[in-house]
Structure 1
Amino acid sequence: MSLRICSLSLLLAAMFYIAGCGVYSFTGVSIDAETLSIRDFINEADNGPPDLAQTFSNKIKDYYQRNTNLTLIPEGGELLLEGVITGYRLTPVSPQAGNQNEFGDLSALTRLTITVQVSYINENNDQFNFENKNFSFFSDFDSDENLTAIENQLIEEIYDQIILDIFNASVANW
């Protein structure tokens, strides 16, 4: 009986010790803050839909709220994210003889690339801060497809990856 109590006591002590060592989550994120401010992103890209920045701002705020315990506040958060969409570029990827797309290019695929420049400030630990770091991702589509018909889907795919990369570089510390 006393061996059982001793084992249980050691187990409880180990659990309290581990719990006291830091803030843990099942997503692998260890955050030493309680509040986050994400300023609305600005669109400085030459082309793209007019709501490009607003869509990105909403998606990144939603992502951080779903994947952390942080309270999102408009200003003065212990963590701060802000940035600018700097690129929205369409480029031909895979040339194909005699197949001219709507852009006048001879290609089978077109690549949509979006670039976002982000600054991150951690008031509790400036070791993780970064300024004007570029995050970019792309999605390819068949050049025969009408961009306006699939543009929102492509933007969603690209944004999902860019937001994951920003999340990993900031609070996940990867």
Structure 2
Amino acid sequence: MIWSKFNRLTLWLVVLALLPALAGCIRYSFTGTNIDPTVKTYSVQTFQNTASNGPSFLSQRFTEEFKDYFQRNTSLKLVPRDGDLQFEGQIVAYDFAPAAIQSTNGIDQAGVNRLTMQVRVRFTNTKDPKQDFEQTFQSYGDFPATQDIARINNDPVSLRRITTNIITDTFNKSVANW
């Protein structure tokens, strides 16, 4: 069958007319987010440290890392309060305990210590309240027994691994819908 110029032109016009309609149906992000286009802002209240231990800077550092992660991975604007997406919560546990016991010359001692952190997060989506949740997220890191808690607290890389896991899990639950 031979396509006339008129038929090809008509086909292209139909395709061009349908493109805007199809583009409006597709929502995709390279970060895996699934954010409603009406959501423009987010707010993060300071995560208070209600755990009985933990470094004094933990609350501020966790909150700032939380804000930074969302700024890097979404196009949402951070506002001081009342964002379309709202995050708040507490650091409820910060525990350092032996994770693996080893026996040396009949003496039991820690071979590995584990730092476990738990954060309770309340998420409010003002555009879609069905997505609201309150959940405790947990992460841990294992450290040689020769490394004490004071040294780990002063090493931002060690602590950042644990906090990043919690923040990533919160991100996935709130905006990636995993």
Length-normalised TM-score, structure 2: 0.85
Q: Which runs of 4+ in 1 moved over 6 A?
A: none
1:102 aligned partner:
none
Kindly indicate whether residue 144 of structure 2 is the aligned counterpart of residue 142 of structure 1.
yes
Contiguous gaps of at least 5 residues in structure 2:
none
Greater C-alpha Rg: 2
Instruction: Determine whether 1:59 maps to 2:62.
Output: no
Which digits, 9 at most, give the CA deviation of each residue in 1:110-162, with x for residues without a partner? 0000000000000111111002x100000001001233333332210001110
Q: Which amino acid aligns with 2:52?
A: D
Identity %: 40
Alpha-carbon offset, residue 40 of structure 1: 1.0
* Residues 1:31 and 2:32 aligned together: no
| TM-score calculated relative to the size of structure 1 | 0.87
Deviation at residue 50 of structure 1 after TM alignment: 0.1
Alignment of 1:11-90 (within 5 A): 11-13=15-17, 15-21=19-25, 23-32=27-36, 33-90=39-96
Query: Contact 1:22–1:30 (CA<8 Å) still a contact in 2?
Result: no
Give the corresponding residue for 1:94.
100
The answer as to 2:162 corresponding to 1:158 is yes
Partner of 1:170: 174
Aligned match for 2:129, one of 107, 126, 131: 126
Q: CA RMSD in A?
A: 2.3
Query: Which sits farther off after the overlay, 108-117 or 11-20?
Result: 11-20
> Offset of 1:98 from its aligned partner?
2.9
Shift in Å, 1:10: 5.2
- Number of residues of Structure 1 aligned to a counterpart in Structure 2: 170
